[in-house]
Structure 1
Amino acid sequence: MSKVLNELTAIASNNESLILQALNASNQRQVAELVKVDASTVSRMKTDKKTNGLTEVEFIGSLLAALELKVVPESDVYCSPEIAEATRVYLAHAFTSREYMRILFK
């Protein structure tokens, strides 16, 4: 298997896992009502294999991975790689500054 396919599969598996964890931690009846389906539909999405050999949750996880998207908890905060790099550079400079350290640990 290629490195790209391995990474895609790992991301898809992580997406599926997060979706299943969230479903298992939720009140599935309420979730079903919110998306206007029967509770049994949500249950089947987790367990019934389709002709492609995937459950709907597995398919959604794979689809998101193929689209280079990922599932994260709503409370997580997104930071672009550019912002993360700028923060790293800023902190690297800040922590080498005697004046900054003096103010920080006053």
Structure 2
Amino acid sequence: MSKVLPELSETARNNGSLILRHINASNQSRVADQVGIDASTLSRIKNDKKNSGLTEIEFIAALLSAVGLKVVPETDVYCSPEIAEATRVYLAHAFTSPEYMRILFK
């Protein structure tokens, strides 16, 4: 992804890598059918470099990164940084509470 701005390249590479890993781990003919294209078109999207020097997958990954989005598996659950921090603090206090431990290991 040499044409992608340096500040985007790591996130864009991660996005593109995850997309390609999941395509490669799937039945590519089935994936192509699900999006309404043939398998050879999917292969071109994955492999053919455009004038920008990027494949279509790399371009889409860079575009997502540029607008502040990232690619994650659909089974992942998102929470905001604030919720994650509140959960961390709650658990830190809970595990130091004798009452919590008594309930947990009842």
TM-score normalised per structure 1: 0.88
Instruction: Work out the CA distance in 2 between the residues paired with 1:66 and 1:97.
Output: 44
Aligned-residue Cα RMSD (Å) equals 1.3
Instruction: Work out the CA distance in 2 between the residues paired with 1:74 and 1:49.
Output: 28
Aligned residues: 102
> Which residue pairs with 2:74 in the alignment?
74
One-letter amino acid of the counterpart of residue 45, structure 1: I
TM-score normalised per structure 2: 0.88
Q: Which ranges in structure 2 are unaligned for 5 or more consecutive residues? A: none
Instruction: Work out the CA distance in 2 between the residues paired with 1:22 and 1:100.
Output: 41
> Which residue pairs with 1:58 in the alignment?
58
Runs of 4 or more off by more than 6 Å in structure 1?
none
Instruction: Work out the CA distance in 2 between the residues paired with 1:71 and 1:31.
Output: 17
Instruction: Work out the CA distance in 2 between the residues paired with 1:51 and 1:32.
Output: 24
Residues 95-104 or 58-67, more deviating: 95-104
Q: Which ranges in structure 1 are unaligned for 5 or more consecutive residues? A: none
